[in-house]
Structure formats: C-alpha cells, structure tokens
Structure 1
Amino acid sequence: MLEIDVRRKTLRMASGDERLALRDVAFSLGEGEVAAVIGPSGCGKTTLLRIVAGLDRDFEGETKLPEPLKIGMVFQEPRLLPWRSVRRNLTLAGARPGAALDAIVAALGLSGHLDHYPGELSLGLARRVSIARAFAVQPTLLLLDEPFVSLDAALALRLREELASLVETWRTTTLLVTHDLDEAVALADKILILSPGPGRKIAEVAVKAPRGRASPREAALLRREIETLVARAGGDEGAHEKG
C-alpha cells in the first residue's frame, strides 16, 4: 500500500523567499494500482513525485511506502550513461542477467540492441531502455515523470501499450505524472487532478476500465469529465486568489 498525505510543501526561491508548492494532497494506492497525476504547469506534480520517491523530505505530512521498497523511476529524459552499452545500463541499475531481465528486454523490443550505445539509439528506443531499466530492479513502486513527452503520437501510443503490459504482468504500484489526458485514461486506475499552483487535490476520478479495456465512447466520456473538472478548478482557484 502506498499512502501519501502532503499537507504543506514550500520551496525556497533564489531570492530567499518561500513559495507554497503543494497543500492538502492525499491519496492511496494498492498493489498493482496505477494513479495518474494531472494539472497545469507549475502545480507541483514533479515536486509531489520527488516527495514520494523520498528525494524531498522537507514537507508537512507523511508518506507510507510499499514494503519491501524497491523504486523504479522513469524521467522526462532517458538519462542513460552514454559510455555504457544498453546491456551495461540495465545491469548497472542493479538488474541481474537472467530470465526476468530477458523477458523485460523482449517485451520492449530491445533484444537486438543490447550491445548498442545510447548515442546509436533513436529517442523512442532510448525511452524503452529507460523503462526497461526501471523494471529491471523488479520495483514495488514505479514512478514516471512525463515518460513519453516529445514523442510522436503513434510511438507514444505503442510505448504506452508496452508499459501497460509490463505493469499488468509485474503488478507494480505506479504513479504517473502527465499532461496527456489520453495517457492518463489509457494507463490509470484513478486520476488525481491538481489545481493551479499551489497544487492541491481537487478531484480523484476512478477509471473503471483502464489499460486498453475502455471502449472509445467510455474513454471520450471520461476525458470530457476530467476536462470539465480541470476547467472548473482553474476558475475556482482564480476566484480564490482574487478573494
């Protein structure tokens, strides 16, 4: 079980002033569940991810993480070591060669690229390696920060499908930060909507048929519901700030 309760998180600016980044963000996830966090730029999504990862402990609130804890992370950029082959990038992350790693590599279509170096890979292949690296440690908690940003729609769709298959297979509790509603609807069991900064949770929407099981009509209705909530939140926060 993942339980997050961030009551208040401030950031210290270069000027020395403090800026409130997050307030009243609480949610929980069970084993194998996926949550997508959406909200406008600057609402604290990446800050929330850092708190969950344990990289930022300077906040008011508490976190309860899965046990035993093994965290896999996928960043906006692949962040591969350019002087190491794909194979070495995977094993340096702590993965042991064997059937489990072979299955992850095969699922992501990387079997023919293990001896290549990051500079020889397309962006799509490099993103696959970063996903494989995250799964290679057999994580109990997977954290993803805009993993498919800047990819064309067809490639992003293919990578979403591959990621969804791995999450289903490994029953990995997953927290995904994204701006892409299609991505959130396709992957998540629940969608957490944050207000404009300082980010607070304004809604938690259940996805009844995640990971490719929703019909086009169901997905469209869900997107419309979320868009309405996001638009309403922007108006409510604006009125609150003026008040």
Structure 2
Amino acid sequence: MELEVFISRKTLQTAYGQTRDILRDVAFTLRQGEVCALLGPSGCGKTTLLRIVAKIDTAFEGRLVLPSRNKIGMVFQEPRLLPWRSVAQNLRLVGTSSESELAEIVAALHLSKHLDHFPSELSLGLARRVAIARAFAVKPDLLLLDEPFVSLDAALAARLREELLALVLKRKATTLIVTHDVEEAIAVADRIIVLSPAPGRLVADRTIEAPRGAMTGARAAKMKETIRALMTNGVHC
C-alpha cells in the first residue's frame, strides 16, 4: 500500500480549556495511483485529516505510513501563491521538475500564456490552476487536495476536474481529495470515503465503477442518493 492511515483519536482544545474530539477511529489504505474522495458534513474533520496526512498536524493518536519517496503535493482551499513572484517563479521555486516537465504541466493546465503574470493579475480559476501545477511540479507520489474547485462556477470546475484527473492518471499519483460535492467525488474518484458528523468517524468506503465515463445516469443518481444519505445520517455501511 502507498498510504496507510489509522487515527484512533484527534482532539482540539477549546477556548475554555475543554477537550473536543475532532476525529475518532478513522482507518483506510490507498494503493499506488488510487484516487480517493473524502466526503462528510461541515465540521466533521475532513481538512484536519488531510493536514494529518500532510504531516502539518502531528498531534494525534494513531499511525501514518506514507509512500516510500514521501513526496507530497498539496493544494489548499486558497491558492497560496507568492504574490511577489510570477507564475513561472512560483512553479520553479517549489518544483523538482525539469523545464520540459514543467512545460508539459503548464500546457495541460492551459497556463502557457500566463507564466509572466503575477498572482494579482490572475482570475480565481487561473490561480487555482497554478496551485495545482505547483503541486505537480514537486513530482508527488502523494497528492492532497482540499476542495480545490470551491467557489468556481460549475462549468469551470468541471473543466478543471478533467484537467486534474488527466494529470493524476498520467503520473499515477496516489490522490486524496476533500470535497463537499458528491457529484464531484463520483466524477474524479476510484473510491469515496464518508465521515460522520463530528467527531468524524469512517462510516462508508465505496468503490466507484471504472471507467468513470461509462457510469450510467441512473447508476450515478443512485450512488449520489446513497452517499448523501450516509453523509446526513452517519450510519455505518
């Protein structure tokens, strides 16, 4: 397995000094190249789990086994680009990719005409493309994305999902994506993991039919209904 996650307990201290459980008994593994979407209601600990996998948050009870090369590409909810650097500089500063590899990533995300632009000159959609390109520039064997398409209109989000998925499949990056959108999860993922309301517990781990494009409308609708029910009720399945 490329990624092994076992979180028996994750807590936070409240402003009043009380201990609040954020995650409990969350365990799963991902194979190399697998794409997994993490779903759950607001406040269930999705972003916290992603931060634990990224080793940004190490204060938890449990175990984490990362891919052997331990190369992690991270895409946050906000693009987090360096505002005083151009797009090209933002990519080169963090990346280990060659110029030809960067050019391929840039072309795949339709950024070739924007390399000399600064973040303040970019639309939100372009800034998110740069953030994704930056994550791929490190040659990740593990790609983590925290709602990378949030606040984008539906058509733009759909195009960017297709571009992201093409890069993921070509580079065989093990991928964990946090989303609140069930349709988005079904469109991009091999598997969907559902967390219960806080404290987040694993209540479902579903495999998505492949190839993704072959799923019928009726099958997709049934899966959406099932996943939404799990998110609402938090019943183990």
Give TM-score, length-normalised by structure 2. 0.95
Secondary structure, counterpart of 2:227 in structure 1 = helix
1:101-143 Cα offsets, whole Å, 9 max, x none, are: 1110000000111011111111100000000000011101000
By how many angstroms is 1:219 displaced? 1.8
CA distance in 2 between counterparts of 1:97 and 1:35 reads: 28
- 8 Å contact 2:41–2:232 — kept in the other structure? no
Aligned partner of 1:135 in structure 2 is 136
Structure-1 separation of matches of 2:214 and 2:67: 27
Question: Which amino acid in structure 1 is aligned with residue 81 of structure 2?
Answer: L
CA distance in 2, matches of 1:213, 1:161: 15
Deviations 1:190-216 (A, max 9, x none): 101000000000111110125434233
- Matched with 2:154 is 153
Q: Give SS of 1:212's match.
A: helix
- The residue type paired with residue 52 of structure 1 is V
Report the AA paired with residue 216 of structure 2: S
Describe the superposition over 1:10-63 as per-residue Cα deviations: whole angstroms up to 9, x where unpaired: 111222211000001000100000111111111000110011011111111101
| Runs of 5+ unmatched residues, structure 1 | 238-243
Partner of 1:79: 80
- Counterpart in the other structure of 2:22: 21
3-state SS, counterpart of residue 84 of structure 1: coil
Instruction: Please name the residue that 2:172 is paired with.
Output: 171
1:109 aligns to 2:110 (yes or no): yes
Kindly indicate whether the alpha-carbon contact (under 8 Å) linking 2:50 and 2:144 is maintained by their aligned counterparts in 1: yes
**Matches of 2:180 and 2:39, distance apart in 1:** 6
Equivalent pair of 2:97/2:139 in contact (CA under 8 Å): no
Question: Counterparts of 1:56 and 1:145 in 2: how far apart (Å)?
Answer: 15
- Number of the residue aligned with 2:209: 208
| Per-residue Cα deviation, 1:71-98 (whole angstroms, up to 9, x for no partner) | 0000111111111000000001123442
Q: Read off the aligned partner of 2:109 and give its amino acid letter.
A: L
User: Tell me, what secondary structure is at the counterpart of 1:49?
Assistant: helix
Match of 1:183 in 2: 184
**Cα RMSD (Å) of the superposition?**
1.4
Q: What amino acid sits opposite 2:56 in the alignment?
A: L
Equivalenced residue count is 235
What's the offset of the Cα at 1:150?
A: 0.5
- Show structure 1 runs of 4+ deviating over 3 A: 210-213
Structure 2, unaligned stretches of length 5 or more?
none
Among the aligned pairs, what percent are the same residue? 62
Counterpart in 2 of 1:52? 53
The more displaced of 214-223 and 122-131 is 214-223
Q: Which amino acid aligns with 1:187?
A: V
More displaced 10-residue stretch of structure 1: 74-83 or 89-98? 89-98
Partner residue of 1:240? none
